[in-house]
Amino acid sequence: MTPTVPFCFKQEGVSFQWPKDQHVCAFFGRHVPAAQCLTFQAYLPSCHRTYSCIHCRAHLANHDELISKSFQGSQGRAYLFNSVVNVGCGPAEERVLLTGLHAVADIYCENCKTTLGWKYEHAFETSQKYKEGKFIIELAHMIKDNGWE
């Protein structure tokens, strides 16, 4: 699968040495500091509409995994997704949300460590069980990538 965002690799086997903290960016084809190098665990297909982290452009979710746009996060509107990528999960804790008591775990971008939203681990009310195992990402932390017209 071809990456759709910049990624870097260390250049090896060349006739001269780059500084150890420098990489060659495979996307831009130029020399950049390692600290500016973006590497992600997963890339979503470039033929699909995707959502990415607004802070580092790591892919987060495929539009096909979007369940609902009718959620509210601490910083405004949020989307509910069936699955996500490049996301880490903190410990679960009970929180009283707008729809009742839930066990949730904060989720964060694996690349830049920004908190993005939360994962529903358990819903205590029967009407909310559909959320279990699903992910909330706040719009304040994501952008649309690939194929949006």
Distance CA 6, CA 144 (A): 16
Residue showing tokens 């990489």: 23
Cβ neighbours around 118 below 10 Å, total: 26
Please report the DSSP string for 9-60 in residue order.
E---S-SSPPPTTEEEETTTTEEEEGGG----S----TTS-EEEETTT--EE
In the chain, CATH 2.170.150.20 covers: 50-145
Instruction: Pick 50-145's CATH classification: 3.30.930.10, 3.20.20.10, 3.40.50.880, 2.170.150.20.
Output: 2.170.150.20
> Which stretches of 74-134 are assigned E, i.e. beta strand?
76-81, 87-97, 100-109, 115-123
Q: Is the pTM of this model over 0.75?
A: no
Q: What does the pLDDT profile of the chain (149 residues) look like in tens digits?
A: 334 443 333 333 333 333 444 444 333 344 444 444 445 577 676 667 899 999 999 999 999 999 999 999 989 999 999 999 999 999 999 999 999 999 999 999 999 999 999 999 999 999 999 999 999 999 999 999 876 66
